[in-house]
Structure 1
């Protein structure tokens, strides 16, 4: 799964990687993104791709109840995304990419969980395969855009930490993905050397304005085994 990630990104770098159009802007760094908050999402647009803010947690167009009753929709399983009512319409027609600097996973037991941070060894942004939807907010009736990250089985390296992981695309394949390309060739675990990992502060367990700064991804000495 992917329940917490980071976006400390440069618009200029994303423009080079994803053919962004529009006016360059300064992107606020985020080091502890939790579900239901705003994230930056890349989606197709006339003449290229655009970077837009969306709610992390997809709201199906047919959902009419309060968002407080919406099941967790921030992740969609690669194995069932094409059939699940929550995601199948977006999977067919509204694919996107969620750029990420890295993401977190936890190991251990309830008595003591160690958070780990995962990122690309070369520091480049990751390109999470995603889905997006536009719907009327059931509580306010305003139009909202929302998105989900697709997750799949972990590769052997990642399975030491968790049995699931975000589907991270090669940046050369993002256009193919968003255009509806063959999912069998795209929704698969990355290479075994695609990520690096280190243990970080348990402060990341808390989400909020006071716990969203660069020190959250700083490496610390592990206090227990996993």
Structure 2
């Protein structure tokens, strides 16, 4: 059985059996989400319109692949209902963190209410596909 779990809904991320342990103990920050056709994905970057660094709130976990026996480390972006600006991309939007909130998110001090704050005005720009090339220098 394969599960599609790349997105964790903010409304249940801290209580869902699949995500609650990661919400308490394994938080991360994600900077890119790929969009477009699976064969030609584009990595847009969303940031504050005023240029402040922002990122997506995420969760990570490690698990053992039953077929190969290898440990797999994976992550998920926490999403919420889309605002008017991001609705052109999807009906859900990533929970955005301001740079001032990175430490509180990562060390667990920040609770779900941080993720529910209205996002600032956003902008999009496309970054190079090389951000996904392992070992690229």
Q: Within 5 A, what are the aligned runs for 1:130-209?
A: 130-180=58-108, 181-191=110-120, 193-196=121-124
Q: Which residue of 2 aligns with 1:87?
A: 19
Output the aligned Cα RMSD. Answer: 2.9
Q: Secondary structure at the match of 1:138?
A: coil
Question: Does structure 2 retain, via aligned residues, the 8 Å contact 1:91–1:131?
Answer: yes
1:157-213 C-alpha deviation (Å, 9 max, x unpaired): 22344321111211121110111112202343412x222379xxxxxxxxxxxxx94
Q: Secondary structure at the match of 2:122?
A: coil
TM-score scaled by structure 2? 0.72
CA distance 1:104–1:178, shift in 2 (3 Å): same
Cα shift at 1:126: 4.1
Unaligned 5+ segments in structure 1 are 1-68, 107-114, 199-211, 215-226
Q: Which residue of 1 aligns with 2:7?
A: 75
Cα shift at 1:99: 1.8
CA distance 1:97–1:197, shift in 2 (3 Å): closer
Question: Does structure 1 retain, via aligned residues, the 8 Å contact 2:13–2:23?
Answer: yes
- Equivalenced residues, count: 122
Q: Which has the higher contact order (CA 8 A, sep 6+)?
A: 2
1:130-161 C-alpha deviation (Å, 9 max, x unpaired): 00112222222122211111111112222344
For 2:65 and 2:74, the matched residues in 1 are separated by: 10
CA distance 1:135–1:195, shift in 2 (3 Å): same
TM-score scaled by structure 1? 0.46
CA distance 1:140–1:213, shift in 2 (3 Å): same
Cα shift at 1:104: 3.3
CA distance 1:161–1:147, shift in 2 (3 Å): closer
For 2:82 and 2:118, the matched residues in 1 are separated by: 6
Q: Secondary structure at the match of 1:156?
A: coil
Rg (Cα) greater in structure: 1
